[in-house]
Amino acid sequence: MPVISIMTTKGGAGKTTATLLLGTGLAEQGANVCLIDADPNQPLVRWAEEANLPSNLSVVGNVTEENIIETIEEQSAKVSFVIVDLEGSANLSSGYAISSSDLILIPLQASKLDANEAAKTLKFILRQSKTTNKNIPARVLWSRAPAAYQTRSGRDMGAQFEEAGISFLNTRIVEREAFKGVVNFGATLADLSESQVPGLNKARVNAAAFVQEIIEVLREARK
Amino acid sequence: MTSGKISLDLDEFKPQPVKIDAESKAQIKEASDNAGFTGRHAIAKTKPASPHVSAEQGGGSEVKRRGRKRTTGRDVPFTVKLRRDTNNQIYELADQLECGAIAEVIEMALQALMEKIARGELIR
């Protein structure tokens, strides 16, 4: 049932990577998953054209503000997890997706520009929650993070968000060649081999922790 | 966790249709439009000029004042003397772009300038 939207008004923040890691990770666990590509650049559709998709993972493209609600309604009746990858801009599709979602993830890199856009996105989510009188859980997700440390600007930024009562996922998506490899090779992390990308095992551990934490957050939200 | 292999019990997550009725959809659209999250083919709303930037006062005698600060980590004072029209232009942009602070206009202008330089466009 859960509908998870991945959004921020900033482009290139790591939305599609997060969508793919979550979607393929859940599919590997045997769940039926639909990825909705609401980005006009259609990155998921292009990925799916080349990828060897598991039978329990589907990708729906050409989703715009005109049909996003209907698509989410239709897919949520069919599969266990619907994940919506939104365009990195302030767009109406995001408004519709927020109101249909059980969880919203906001990928954030430790840059001021990203933080400004994440803050704008969070403000919008809060506003939409009030409009629809529905509490929509949102989590900020550190994306493309350095593997071994957190930068000082990242720490400062995180502290400011947390002071404002905004929750972060504990798991950070680390900048890894393997994650780029998922897109570049049209593969899943499970399909990739060490000869294609380095650090595959660490990437798999990172992705697994991400998927596991999302499930925990969803369970918590259902209580 | 030491391995990428996990086994999650996801049985509790079953397909369950989400439903957004037409009334909610209209409310969401209105709220989105008002927040600047617009449709791809939306016509940009022209906002009524605020008293600070009305045609009569824009280039007139009133000097705009500060008072838009919020806690953003901007804690370095920056005092400059400007021409009156430059000053007013900054405030007009702040209103137009719904900036919470004048510093935001300066930051955006700097960003645009950096991008221009990066593109190799001569600026002087």
**pLDDT tens digits for range A163-206:** 878 889 999 999 998 998 888 888 888 888 888 888 888 999 99
Query: Max alpha carbon distance in chain A (Å)?
Result: 51
Query: Which residues of chain B are at the A interface, by a Cβ-Cβ cutoff of 8 Å?
Result: 1-8, 10, 12-20, 24-25, 27-29, 31-33, 35-40, 42, 73, 111
Q: State pTM to two decimals.
A: 0.73
Interatomic CA distance for residues B104 and A166, integer angstroms: 22
Give the H or E element holding residue A86.
strand A81-86
**ipTM field:** 0.82
Give residues 101 to 140 of A whose Cβ lies within 8 Å of B: 113, 123-124, 127-128, 131-132
What is residue B18's three-state secondary structure?
A: coil
**Pairing state of beta strands A3-6 and A138-142?**
unpaired
Interatomic CA distance for residues A68 and A50, integer angstroms: 24
Return the half-sphere exposure (C-beta side, CA atoms, 13 A cut-off) of residue A24.
25
Are the C-beta atoms of residues A137 and A104 closer than 8 Å to each other? yes
Are the C-beta atoms of residues A150 and A121 closer than 8 Å to each other? no
Closest listed residue to residue A141, CA positions, set A58, A90, A206? A206
Q: What is the pLDDT of residue B53?
A: 47
**pLDDT tens digits for range A35-54:** 999 999 999 999 999 888 89
Query: Which of A73, A78, A95 has its CB closest to that of B37?
Result: A95
Query: Max alpha carbon distance in chain B (Å)?
Result: 71
User: Two tokens at A203?
Assistant: 């990437």
Does the pLDDT at position A219 exceed 80?
yes
Are the C-beta atoms of residues A102 and A214 closer than 8 Å to each other? no
